[in-house]
Chains A and B, each alone.
Chain A
Amino acid sequence: MNRLRRVGLALLGPAMAIVVALIVTAIVIALIGKDPIAALRVMTDLGDTPSQQTQSIVVILNRAVPLFLAGLAVAVAFRMGLFNIGVEGQYRLATILAAAVGAAVTLPAPLHVLLIVVVAVVVAAVWAGIVGVLKVTRGVSEVISSIMLNFVALGIASFLLTGPLRGSAEGQSIVTTKTIPESGWFPGLNGVLTGLGLAEPRSELYGFLLVAIVIGVAVAVLLRRTRFGFDLRATGLSPSAARASGVDARGMVIKTMLLSGGIAGLIGMPELLGDVHEFGTEFTAGLGFLGIAVALLGRNSPLGIAVAALLFAFLDRAALPLQFADIPSSVVTIIQGTIVLAVVIANEIARRLALRSAERAGSSAAAPPPDSGGSGGGGSPPGDGPDGGRRAYTPVPGEQQGAQA
């Protein structure tokens, strides 16, 4: 019963946020003189023929896979109380270098794919690791350093693309790297779809979907069932308590950033290996920032992030049909932005409600503290991420140094 209520409270935030976002969007659409109900119908209409419908589903899934990975990368750091805002730069830099390495070599298929993925993971992990090292050795706030490194990474990526790694001919409007040979392509999953009796869609469903699922499960196990995950969550909940109980906080910061960056390196892989096979100016951007939104909406738990990624992907797919229905497609961005803002506010309210009910329970009987052990099975306990507003410790540049001296 208690657990049920806790799960309910954890779901309350996102549910309230989505309702608020829908109301805000309906008002916005009504203000410009369109029918909100009609807009909703356009957004949920996946197509008339079976082939169109499977195509829509494939588009949603293909968009959700990188969003899920981005959300996961952000969430791993969030759980530790670290803000990895640099996911954007990490995955872009990782993808262009991986694309260049992949195009430069020819190997047997599985090895080739593996090499590309490993390069991407390592590059992004190293890039994120800089943030961690700067934080523990120089006391630089990870928020600032990851924002700054974002710009540096984007600058390097654009320099590499237009300079040494340019594969397309001079004077073309779309600049790309060299194309990865076919042995470095990741097979799609359309065979599975037709095997299930669905119509053949126009685009290929990313095979990387399976990898993403595996990564998601691995992260969930890592966070819930291992010593490392426990230390990570404990440090996120209370850095001082964790340090007092013998957690190596400095090592944890670097390890967490490496892990977060490593996952960030995978974000570009579905598109690179499954669709375009080269990095270019047209490569999907902004996934790192959307990942922050997805992680917040998903309350930093892998399952929640998967749902959030699907929701965002569903909204993104609706942009084009909305445009055909003469409704500005940027409505989608507004819905997403409103959801994020609403979800963080709603989470905070839900956390207070939980706190109040716990206090009431505590005053009537000497009940155990609300977060005993933090081992909530289903949903994560309300407010165990930075979005819960419980982040007690904002690192001050220099302070850590002073404390250690």
Chain B
Amino acid sequence: MSTVQSPPARPSRGPLTDLLTGGGRSRRVLWLVLGVLVLVSVVRVVSGEQELTSSSTMAAALLLAVPIALAALGGLFSERAGVVNIGLDGMMILGTWGAGWAGYQWGWGAAVVGGVVLGAVGGLLHAIATVTFGVDHVVSGVAINLLAAGIVRFLSELNYIDNPAGGGAAQSPPLASQPPDFSLPVLSSGPDLLGSLEQRHWFLISDLAGVLRGLTSDVGVLTLVAVLLIPVSYLVLWRTAFGLRLRSCGENPAAADSLGVPVYRLKYTAVVISGALAGLGGVSLVFIANIYREGQTGGRGFIGLAALIFGNWRPGGLAAGAGLFGFADALQLRSRTAVVALLLLVAVLLAAVAVYQGVQRKLVQAVLAGAFAAAALVGFLTIERLPAGIVFFTPHLTTLLVLSLASQRLRMPKADGLVYRRGEH
């Protein structure tokens, strides 16, 4: 009488299918990464755009992904606690100014502190407006974006005009010291094995070497911090009691309140952390330029928001989104002809979607995807280089496409954006 049964295992569908689909989530992610890499290296060989996977492009992508990822992480904390944060960009602006001001006087360590503190002040303002006064989250966020731009301009006019160290109404003096950066010994520095492998331009192997070398050479200290913050955020939000309570405020604050969770205090904490992370994102921008400049964020707070949504309000997903947007940004900076090669990539992907939908007998979607694939292919074959204005909005257009194609699969925290008032729901 054995009542203990093993969980109903799926019938084996042959060794190949098991290899491809078995092993759960981590295996699938691995296959996905491998698939993308193969696809990109095919595109590189076909189009001859070596910049596509060069280590310098990858390094630039990582560098540019950091501010986006930090802003997105900021959004994650805030929105998981149920507060929509449109003000990320404003908090980032405050962060850049704080970093510039503290950095030119006391070096890079102070810049980090200055940026984080000013960003957190922005977050605190947002928390006061939304949590204590119950102002609509989007309205408060928009107001903070407006206010932040005015405050930094004012502070710059006050501090940097006639400053003997340099600077002016729109920029700070350069930082007093540069942050350190690290390279992986032997592989990426010294003998630089990966570098020599990359120069061979072998199919797949050189691509892998380029990617790895880009990710491991001259990595800035903030980049390390940002990369570490992603798993840390996951652990904090999904594996601690604090995180559970914080997320419960974003899902069902009334229920959380009834169980003794201090909803207001947690929301405050989350939004202040959010501002601090966005401020840190601003610091990373200042480190890239070694100076504070007005308009330095270039709307990256909004791209961070986009990455957050792209990543379905999850740390892993937002990291992928930030990486993608950083990559597009870097590619555009390194070589504008290489961006056109991406069109080939898009064409291949869309063609695959078309075939898949066709097999599923969804003819409309199949035809649509096929048409877009053909258009992308024609674009790749005919366009020499994309104009800067068009390339600039690639991340935003991607987000729109993802949202409109996959919005059913995205799930934001249930009480996100709703004003919670104790005893009033």
Min Cβ gap B408→A in Å is 4
Contact partner, B408, options A296, A333, A386, A402, Cβ 8 Å: A402
Q: Which residue of B lies closest to A292 (CB)?
A: B142
**Which of the 9-residue segments A48-56, A149-157, A222-230 touches chain B?**
A149-157
Q: Which residue of B lies closest to A342 (CB)?
A: B143
Min Cβ gap B13→A in Å is 30
Q: Are B147 and A148 in contact (CB under 8 A)?
A: no
Q: Are B407 and A401 in contact (CB under 8 A)?
A: yes
Contact with B along A378-389 (1 / 0, CB 8 A): 000000001111
Q: Which residue of A lies closest to B416 (CB)?
A: A394
Task: Enumerate chain A residues within 8 angstroms of B135, measured Cβ to Cβ.
Answer: 344-345, 348, 387, 389
Task: Enumerate chain B residues within 8 angstroms of A163, measured Cβ to Cβ.
Answer: 387, 389
Q: Are B147 and A158 in contact (CB under 8 A)?
A: no
User: Given contacts A144-B403, A152-B396, is CB(A289)–CB(B305) below 8 Å?
Assistant: no
Q: Are B153 and A140 in contact (CB under 8 A)?
A: no
Q: A159 CA to B404 CA in the complex, in Å? A: 25
Task: Enumerate chain B residues within 8 angstroms of A345, measured Cβ to Cβ.
Answer: 129, 133, 135
Q: Which residue of B lies closest to A143 (CB)?
A: B138
Most interface-central of B84, B136, B147, B157 (chain A CB within 10 A): B136
Q: Are A156 and B389 in contact (CB under 8 A)?
A: yes
Task: Enumerate chain A residues within 8 angstroms of B143, measured Cβ to Cβ.
Answer: 293, 296, 337, 340-341, 344
User: Given contacts A139-B408, A334-B150, A349-B133, is CB(A151)–CB(B302) below 8 Å?
Assistant: yes
Is B356 interfacial (CB-CB < 8 Å)? no
Task: Enumerate chain A residues within 8 angstroms of B389, measured Cβ to Cβ.
Answer: 155-160, 162-163
Is B235 interfacial (CB-CB < 8 Å)? no
Q: Which residue of A lies closest to B157 (CB)?
A: A328
Within 8 A of B (CB), among A364-393: 386-389, 391-392
Q: Are A145 and B403 in contact (CB under 8 A)?
A: yes
Contact with A along B160-185 (1 / 0, CB 8 A): 00000000000000000000000000
Q: A394 CA to B387 CA in the complex, in Å? A: 37
Is B393 interfacial (CB-CB < 8 Å)? yes
Task: Enumerate chain A residues within 8 angstroms of B306, measured Cβ to Cβ.
Answer: 144, 148
Q: Which residue of B lies closest to A161 (CB)?
A: B389
Is B42 interfacial (CB-CB < 8 Å)? no
Is A397 interfacial (CB-CB < 8 Å)? yes
Within 8 A of B (CB), among A160-184: 160, 162-163
Is B231 interfacial (CB-CB < 8 Å)? no
Task: Enumerate chain B residues within 8 angstroms of A143, measured Cβ to Cβ.
Answer: 84, 86, 138
Is A138 interfacial (CB-CB < 8 Å)? yes
Q: Which residue of B lies closest to A147 (CB)?
A: B302
Is B392 interfacial (CB-CB < 8 Å)? yes
Min Cβ gap A131→B in Å is 10
Q: A143 CA to B138 CA in the complex, in Å? A: 8
Contact partner, B403, options A134, A155, A158, A389, Cβ 8 Å: A134
Contact partner, A336, options B84, B146, B393, B418, Cβ 8 Å: B146
Most interface-central of B135, B136, B139, B302 (chain A CB within 10 A): B139
Is B151 interfacial (CB-CB < 8 Å)? yes
Within 8 A of B (CB), among A299-355: 328-334, 336-338, 340-341, 344-345, 348-349
User: Given contacts A138-B403, A152-B393, A340-B147, is CB(A398)–CB(B408) below 8 Å?
Assistant: yes
Contact partner, B140, options A139, A338, A341, A397, Cβ 8 Å: A341
Q: A147 CA to B389 CA in the complex, in Å? A: 17
Q: Are A397 and B403 in contact (CB under 8 A)?
A: yes
Is B411 interfacial (CB-CB < 8 Å)? yes
Task: Enumerate chain A residues within 8 angstroms of B299, measured Cβ to Cβ.
Answer: 151
Q: A138 CA to B400 CA in the complex, in Å? A: 11
User: Given contacts A83-B138, A159-B388, is CB(A151)–CB(B393) below 8 Å?
Assistant: yes
Contact with A along B376-397 (1 / 0, CB 8 A): 0000000000011110110011
Is A396 interfacial (CB-CB < 8 Å)? yes
User: Given contacts A341-B125, A386-B139, is CB(A328)–CB(B158) below 8 Å?
Assistant: yes
Is A287 interfacial (CB-CB < 8 Å)? no
Is A4 interfacial (CB-CB < 8 Å)? no
Q: Which residue of B lies closest to A28 (CB)?
A: B154
Is B412 interfacial (CB-CB < 8 Å)? yes
Is A32 interfacial (CB-CB < 8 Å)? yes
Contact partner, A398, options B142, B409, B419, Cβ 8 Å: B409
Task: Enumerate chain B residues within 8 angstroms of A237, measured Cβ to Cβ.
Answer: none
Q: Which residue of B lies closest to A151 (CB)?
A: B396
Q: Are B409 and A331 in contact (CB under 8 A)?
A: no
Task: Enumerate chain A residues within 8 angstroms of B41, measured Cβ to Cβ.
Answer: none
Q: A144 CA to B153 CA in the complex, in Å? A: 27
Q: A138 CA to B403 CA in the complex, in Å? A: 8
Q: Which residue of B lies closest to A387 (CB)?
A: B139
Q: A401 CA to B410 CA in the complex, in Å? A: 12
Task: Enumerate chain B residues within 8 angstroms of A149, measured Cβ to Cβ.
Answer: 396, 400
Q: Chain A's interface: helix, strand, loop or mixed, by majority?
A: helix
Q: Which residue of B lies closest to A160 (CB)?
A: B389
Q: A148 CA to B411 CA in the complex, in Å? A: 19
Q: Which residue of A lies closest to B393 (CB)?
A: A155
Contact partner, A333, options B129, B153, B418, Cβ 8 Å: B153
Min Cβ gap B215→A in Å is 28
Q: Are B153 and A341 in contact (CB under 8 A)?
A: no
Contact with A along B338-368 (1 / 0, CB 8 A): 0000000000000000000000000000000
Q: Are B399 and A32 in contact (CB under 8 A)?
A: no
User: Given contacts A387-B135, A397-B410, is CB(A155)–CB(B392) below 8 Å?
Assistant: yes
Task: Enumerate chain A residues within 8 angstroms of B117, measured Cβ to Cβ.
Answer: none
Contact partner, A401, options B138, B309, B408, Cβ 8 Å: B408
Is B263 interfacial (CB-CB < 8 Å)? no
Is A85 interfacial (CB-CB < 8 Å)? yes
Task: Enumerate chain B residues within 8 angstroms of A162, measured Cβ to Cβ.
Answer: 387-389
Q: Are A387 and B136 in contact (CB under 8 A)?
A: yes
Q: A92 CA to B384 CA in the complex, in Å? A: 28
Contact partner, B407, options A138, A152, A158, A336, Cβ 8 Å: A138
User: Given contacts A163-B389, A334-B154, A336-B150, is CB(A397)–CB(B142) below 8 Å?
Assistant: no
Q: A140 CA to B396 CA in the complex, in Å? A: 14
Q: A389 CA to B411 CA in the complex, in Å? A: 23
Task: Enumerate chain A residues within 8 angstroms of B408, measured Cβ to Cβ.
Answer: 139, 398, 401-402
Q: Which residue of A lies closest to B400 (CB)?
A: A148
Q: Which residue of B lies closest to A131 (CB)?
A: B400
Task: Enumerate chain A residues within 8 angstroms of B136, measured Cβ to Cβ.
Answer: 344, 386-389, 391
Contact partner, A337, options B138, B151, B410, B416, Cβ 8 Å: B151
Min Cβ gap B127→A in Å is 13
Q: Are B125 and A139 in contact (CB under 8 A)?
A: no
Q: A333 CA to B392 CA in the complex, in Å? A: 28
Task: Enumerate chain A residues within 8 angstroms of B416, measured Cβ to Cβ.
Answer: 394, 396
Q: A23 CA to B388 CA in the complex, in Å? A: 45
Is B223 interfacial (CB-CB < 8 Å)? no
Is B149 interfacial (CB-CB < 8 Å)? yes
Is B61 interfacial (CB-CB < 8 Å)? no
Q: Are A398 and B410 in contact (CB under 8 A)?
A: yes
Task: Enumerate chain B residues within 8 angstroms of A151, measured Cβ to Cβ.
Answer: 299, 302, 392-393, 396
Give me 5 other A-B pairs in contact (C-beta within 8 A), A143-B84, A148-B396 excluded.
A134-B403, A163-B387, A336-B150, A340-B146, A397-B410
Q: Can you show 11 pairs from A to B with CB atoms below 8 A apart?
A: A32-B158, A143-B84, A148-B306, A156-B393, A162-B387, A333-B150, A333-B154, A334-B147, A340-B146, A397-B412, A398-B411
A residues whose Cβ falls under 8 Å from a Cβ of B: 28, 32, 83, 85, 134, 138-140, 143-145, 147-149, 151-152, 154-160, 162-163, 289-290, 292-293, 296, 328-334, 336-338, 340-341, 344-345, 348-349, 386-389, 391-392, 394, 396-398, 401-402
